Structure formats: structure tokens, C-alpha cells
């Protein structure tokens, strides 16, 4: 519970209210899942099932519904919106959000939202579904189980292509004025997901993933490109802080029992770095800016967007050791290293010690990865 206690002590610094007490920035627990064929009737029905299940479980907290505009949420307004989505055409754009916010001006504690891709753009866009829950849910085993069950459920419902889950800054639906706060917090906390505009990446995340957080979702095609499930399990076999959980179409990689904020002065969370070392090749290479231009203050531009995506890379300025060493080469830093070429390979090497090779591995060449521990 040490990580949660630390999080609880820091959380107030990540929340902001207006003078009238309206919350405009919150710390939240999110899961964002990207998927294919959001334009099909079958997938639309699956998405609505997710919304209906969320409404049934968290309905007492939900106040509003956003589609073309904000309106009070009732069973009748929801069913009308659901019917409109299911009967929409393959090239009709649908958007829906159920929220605990009282208007478009305040940040939610609970929410579920979606935006689809067009049939016309199947090869160049992805649909997404996202949930927001209170970070306090992490306090209990039952709360963490609820979150994890929702993550698995979403992945199975829409046959997730990829996605992520963890701590994030939650902004209002009308978020433009508060993008500078999201930017400033992301400069201080490496584990804080920048996710105010998941729709903006839908055109980019086709053959790549956004990156790593507490939960990193990778579909079967991505799993196979990394050597298959067995190869990934070998890669993480020496780390007790990383677990792999199956869903019907892929794997969910969890880095630690709790998500971490990752204060810059303390460096990136070691478990996040370890996951990134293995899945980094899947990450988007030339991302567009995370934020659009804002007249309200500093926001993500091209250069600092690239820096944010690379925040868990070993060559990041916060880290002084390389991410990998090939077999036959001298160890570059004393400490624990591991290789996906051999199960339970994690061991300590001295600086300058020659890294061994394992022949006959289905993984291929023996490459050693720094575990982040000396």
C-alpha cells in the first residue's frame, strides 16, 4: 500500500477548482482502448453493451449525456441515443459520453465515451472507447479488481487492437482552457497519461501503439511481432513486478500492483521502463502534437510531444545507462539484466563482464536488457 499512500498524499496537488468550487481538473483512473471496425453493426452493439453495463453499475454517479449537446441523463435519453448509434450507417460518425459532470464545464469523476471510425477510413483510423473512474478505487483490492475487470471486459467486447490504462489528468468536455494545466502536470509526473484528446490519435494508431503506462494493451498481431506470448513471458520472467494477463485478442501487461505518478525528480517508474524496453518498437514513431495551439498558455508542441512519448526510453536524460547490450559485448553497467532468449534469465552482471549468448532460442539473437536495478 506504500504506492497508494504516496499517491493519496500527492493527489490534492493534481486537482484544481474555480473560485465557485467547480472542479476543472481532476486526477482520474482511465482505460482507453482502440479497436477496428467501429462502423459495423456488430461492433456498435458491443459498444452499446459496454455503455449499458457502465450505466447499470455506476448510474447513481452519472448525471449527464453528451452526444450533439449536453443533456440530463435518463434511461429514455440513453436508449434513444443507443438506438441511433446502432442504426447509423457505416460512414456515419457517432459519438457518445455518459458522465458524472454537471455540465461541459466541469471535470468528471465517472465517465464512459466513444468515437467511431468510418468504413471509408478503415485502413487509416481506429475507433476508441474510454472509461474514467475515481483514482481512490485503487485503495482496496475490490476496487482494483473492479477496474481490472472493466479493462478486460472492454478489451474482449471490442476485440481491442491496443490501448492503455493508468492515472491521467481529467479535464472538462470543454477542455481548451485547461490544456496548459495538463501540460504542466505532465512535465512533473512521467506516469501521468496525457489523454484529453484520445480522438486526435485515432488517425495515427493503425500499425503502432501509443506507448506504455500501468496497463499496456497489445493485440495479437503486436504480440506476434514481439515473438509471441511465450517470448514476452520469457522477457519478463525475471521481474516480479510485471504481470501478463490474457484477453481474447491479446495481452494486458501490468507494471506493478498500483499505477505510479513517476515524479521527474525520482525518475521514471522502473517497471514502466522495463515494459517500454520490450514493447518500444511498437510505439508510434512520428506522433502529431498532443495538443492543438492554445492561447491560454504552454501546451504540447512538436518537440515536447516527442519528448513525452520517449519519457520511458533509456536514453532519456533522466537515465544514464543504455537499454540493451548484445551478447558477446561487455556489460555497460553493474546490476541486474535479463534476456527474452532464455526463461528466468535475470541475473547480476559486473561492469565489463561479457554478456553470454543462448543458442537455439525461438526468440532469436540474445539481447540483454537493463532491469533498472543495481
Burial of 374 (0-12, 13-18, 19+ CB in 10 A): exposed
Name the least confident of 14-18, 51-55, 124-128. Answer: 124-128
CA end-to-end distance (rounded Å), the chain? 24
**Which residue shows C-alpha cell 485503487?**
138
Q: How confident is the model at residue 183 (pLDDT cuts 50, 70, 90)?
A: very high
Separation CA 251–CA 216 (nearest Å): 8
The backbone torsions φ and ψ at residue 139, rounded to the nearest 5 degrees and listed phi first, read: -65, -30
Residue 24 dihedral angles phi and psi, to the nearest 5°: -115, -15
Q: Which of the four pLDDT bands, split at 50, 70 and 90, describes residue 151?
A: very high
On average, the pLDDT of the chain sits at 89
> Residue 121: is its pLDDT beyond 70?
no
Query: In this structure, what C-alpha cell is assigned to residue 352?
Result: 565489463
Asked whether 72 and 65 are in contact (CB, 8 A), the reply is yes
Tens of pLDDT along 308-348? 999 999 643 334 445 678 899 989 888 888 887 777 788 89
Q: Which residue has the cell 524496453?
A: 277
Of 41-50, 222-231, 337-346, least confident by mean pLDDT is: 337-346
Better-scored residue on pLDDT, 184 or 297: 184
- Catalogue the long-range contacts made by 344-351 (C-beta closer than 8 Å, 24 or more residues apart): 344/237, 344/238, 345/234, 345/237, 345/238, 346/237, 346/238, 346/239, 346/371, 347/238
Please say whether the beta carbons of 218 and 279 come within 8 A. Answer: yes
The pLDDT of residue 316 is 36
Amino acid at each position: 500500500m506504500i504506492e497508494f499512500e504516496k499517491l493519496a498524499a500527492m493527489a490534492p496537488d493534481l486537482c484544481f477548482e474555480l473560485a465557485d468550487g467547480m472542479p476543472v481538473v481532476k486526477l482520474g483512473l482511465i482505460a482507453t482502448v482502440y479497436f477496428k471496425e467501429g462502423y459495423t453493426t456488430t461492433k456498435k452493439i458491443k459498444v452499446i453493451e459496454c455503455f449499458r453495463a457502465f450505466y447499470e453499475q455506476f448510474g447513481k454517479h452519472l448525471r449527464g449525456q453528451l452526444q450533439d449537446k449536453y443533456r440530463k441523463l435518463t434511461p429514455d435519453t440513453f436508449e434513444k441515443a443507443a438506438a441511433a448509434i446502432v442504426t447509423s450507417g457505416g460512414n456515419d460518425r457517432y459519438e457518445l459520453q455518459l458522465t458524472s459532470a454537471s455540465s461541459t464545464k466541469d471535470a468528471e469523476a465517472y465517465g464512459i465515451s466513444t468515437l467511431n471510425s468510418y468504413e471509408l477510413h478503415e485502413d487509416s483510423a481506429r475507433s476508441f472507447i474510454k472509461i474514467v473512474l475515481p483514482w481512490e478505487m485503487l485503495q482496496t483490492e475490490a476496487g482494483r479488481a473492479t477496474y481490472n475487470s472493466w479493462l478486460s471486459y472492454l478489451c474482449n467486447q471490442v476485440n481491442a487492437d491496443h490501448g492503455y490504462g493508468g492515472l491521467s489528468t481529467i479535464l472538462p468536455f470543454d477542455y481548451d482552457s485547461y490544456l496548459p494545466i495538463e501540460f504542466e502536470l505532465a512535465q512533473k509526473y512521467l506516469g501521468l497519461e496525457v489523454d484529453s484528446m484520445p480522438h486526435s490519435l485515432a488517425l495515427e494508431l493503425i500499425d503502432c501503439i501509443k506507448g506504455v503506462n500501468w496497463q499496456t494493451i497489445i493485440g495479437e498481431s503486436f504480440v506476434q511481432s514481439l515473438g509471441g506470448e511465450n517470448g514476452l513471458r520469457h522477457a519478463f520472467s525475471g521481474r516480479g513486478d510485471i504481470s501478463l494477463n490474457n484477453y481474447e485478442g491479446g495481452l494486458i501487461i501490468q507494471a506493478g500492483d498500483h499505477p505510479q505518478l513517476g515524479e521527474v525528480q525520482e525518475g521514471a517508474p522502473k517497471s514502466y521502463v522495463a515494459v517500454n524496453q520490450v514493447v518500444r518498437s511498437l510505439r508510434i514513431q512520428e506522433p502529431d502534437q498532443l495538443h492543438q495551439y492554445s492561447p491560454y498558455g504552454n501546451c504540447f508542441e512538436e518537440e515536447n510531444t516527442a519528448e513525452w512519448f520517449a519519457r520511458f526510453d533509456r536514453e532519456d536524460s533522466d537515465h544514464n545507462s543504455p537499454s540493451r547490450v548484445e551478447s558477446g559485448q561487455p556489460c555497460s553497467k553493474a546490476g541486474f539484466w535479463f534476456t527474452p532468449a532464455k526463461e528466468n534469465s535475470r541475473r547480476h552482471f559486473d561492469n565489463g563482464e561479457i554478456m553470454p549468448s543462448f543458442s537455439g532460442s525461438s526468440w532469436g539473437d540474445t539481447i540483454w536488457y537493463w532491469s533498472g536495478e543495481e
